[in-house]
Chains A and B, each alone.
Chain A
Amino acid sequence: SQQGEEDPQALSIQEGENATMNCSYKTSINNLQWYRQNSGRGLVHLILIRSNEREKHSGRLRVTLDTSKKSSSLLITASRAADTASYFCATDDDMRFGAGTRLTVKP
């Protein structure tokens, strides 16, 4: 079974709003990664956060990691229609993916 599980399964917001999605995992990790998948395409790596980091930023993306709760969150600020995609998390210990969060940003 996969290590990372994303929630919610689906999220629909208006352009300009922030989107937050969460990932939970089961065992200790070295790193956690977030990926995006546009419909019909391969996954694209967004950001990696190491187990000794608590927060990381990349443009409009903000990722947090709470190893005590075995969870991570991905925040997309000032969302755009182009952010519409599925988002997945995965850990280095187990490169399996959950069902993902399907984000829809309405213009």
Chain B
Amino acid sequence: DAGVIQSPRHEVTEMGQEVTLRCKPISGHNSLFWYRQTMMRGLELLIYFNNNVPIDDSGMPEDRFSAKMPNASFSTLKIQPSEPRDSAVYFCASSLMASGSYEQYFGPGTRLTVT
């Protein structure tokens, strides 16, 4: 298996632009997580899905952020409009929830820079 795939790997955009980050989880996994990592705030859980349904989105910063999971093999995280403070590395992770275990597999991350 190729592991969790994220695209793009790097994104540089101007303030006010829409940004869409993409994630393909490991085939067969039923949970998907979006995280954001910065030096100041560390690794933050933004949202997670179970069987394509959002379970906890309390970490989503504000209405500018939205996430979707239209099917088991694809998820997007959208920021509109983007702001410089959104600059961070965004990680997607997937797991197979079995017997209460959430061992997660992380993607390589998308480094977002908003100027």
Please report A residues at the B interface, Cβ cutoff 8 Å. Answer: 30-31, 33, 35, 40-45, 48, 88, 92, 95-100
Interface residues of B in 27-49 (CB under 8 A from A): 33, 35, 42-45, 48
- Say if the beta carbon of B100 comes within 8 Å of chain A: yes
Chain B contact residues: helix, strand, loop or mixed: strand
A sample of 9 inter-chain contacts (CB < 8 A) reads A30-B100, A31-B102, A33-B103, A35-B104, A42-B93, A95-B48, A97-B42, A100-B42, A100-B43
In the complex, the chain A residue whose C-beta lies closest to that of B35 is: A97
Q: Using a CB–CB distance below 8 Å, which chain B residues touch chain A?
A: 4, 33, 35, 42-45, 48, 59, 89, 91, 93, 100-109
Are B106's CB and A92's CB within 8 A? no
The interface residues of chain A lying within 8 Å CB-to-CB of B48 are: 95
